[in-house]
Amino acid sequence: MRSLYLVLIAASLALTSPILGQQQTIPLWPNGNPEPSKVVGPETDPTTDANRMVSGKPTVRVANISHPSMVVFLASPAKNTGAAALVFPGGGFQHLSYDMEGTEVCAWLNSIGVNCVVVKYRVPERGRFPENAEDLEDVQQAMRITRSHAAEWHFDAHRIGVIGFSAGAELAIALSTHYDFQGKTVPPSSIDARPDFQMVIYPGGTRDADGKIKDSVLPPHNLPPTFLVQAEDDKVAHPESALVYYLALVAANLPAEIHIYAEGGHGFGLRPTDLPISRWPAFAETWLHTIHILGPVVGAGHP
């Protein structure tokens, strides 16, 4: 049954995702998770007929992830800029929107010369950091593994960022804020887990009951440059979540750029629509140039 599931996933990705670069899968914890797994049974796809089609295309979701891993998609040698990004798909910490907010993001990144890693962190999980640090531990480990392979994979260990969507956006913020968190069951590591930039796409979970920013996401002085995207009509991760976080960055004099669109809802990923919000990847690419993750724009003037 599990092998049939994997075949169906692979076939679906082949049909729905653009061509990706060279790839390999690496387990995050080859000697076993730091904590006993709460998930039983094989990985599954919880997609139903009611939610299978998104923006006119089928989508793939993955649930019951008890063996977290990372899938590496290297940019072609001709395009490789030396930059890289870890991608954290969303899914409410119940499943991962694996193609829309994972492999399709890597296809875009590879097209602009950015190496990409899709992180399959543990889901479903109950509780968020600091009450439950398991998903944070997973993305810390993914960053450390990625950074340790930078020379082998031909990219710059100091130009590795994160891109998170919805729940994955919360996880991106958690990693950028608590990259140095040390779990009781995780062996210490000398490899830095701090991202060099973060893209936070329709985040939630930034506000407390009073509508103020949560203490757990208050930005440290060395938070990396941040790019935020949000739809005003998002009924899941309300726009106030992105705004509260952005204002906290401004108050701390940290570099941040935010794009809020009137329409788009929640979970739009990178799939093209007739709405202006579908153009956000072009703005993100320009931003990567402005923060010097990518080189200067060809043809741009220099002071």
Residue 298 lies in a domain: no
Residue 235 lies in a domain: yes
Using CA atoms, how far apart are residues 144 and 167, in angstroms rounded to an integer? 21
Helix ranges, 51-164 (H): 104-111, 134-148, 150-153
Q: Which of 98, 108, 111, 189 is nearest to 146 (CA)?
A: 189
Residue 303 lies in a domain: no
Q: SS3 breakdown of the chain: % helix, strand, coil, rounded to 5?
A: 30, 20, 50
Residue 10 lies in a domain: yes
Averaged confidence pLDDT in the chain = 90
Q: What is the CA radius of gyration of the chain?
A: 18
What are the pLDDT digits (tens) for 13-61? Answer: 433 344 455 688 999 999 999 998 888 889 999 888 888 988 888 889 9
Residue 299 lies in a domain: no
What are the pLDDT digits (tens) for 130-188? Answer: 888 999 999 999 999 999 999 999 999 999 999 999 999 999 999 999 999 998 889 89
The count of structural domains within the chain is 1
Q: Which of 244, 214, 203, 21 is nearest to 112 (CA)?
A: 21
What's the residue count for the chain? 303
CATH number for 78? 3.40.50.1820
Residue 300 lies in a domain: no
What are the pLDDT digits (tens) for 54-96? Answer: 888 888 999 999 999 999 999 999 999 999 999 999 999 999 9
Q: Which of 180, 183, 219, 182 is nearest to 200 (CA)?
A: 219
> What range defines the domain where residue 22 resides?
2-33+42-290
Residue 75 lies in a domain: yes
Using CA atoms, how far apart are residues 276 and 263, in angstroms rounded to an integer? 8
Residue 216 lies in a domain: yes
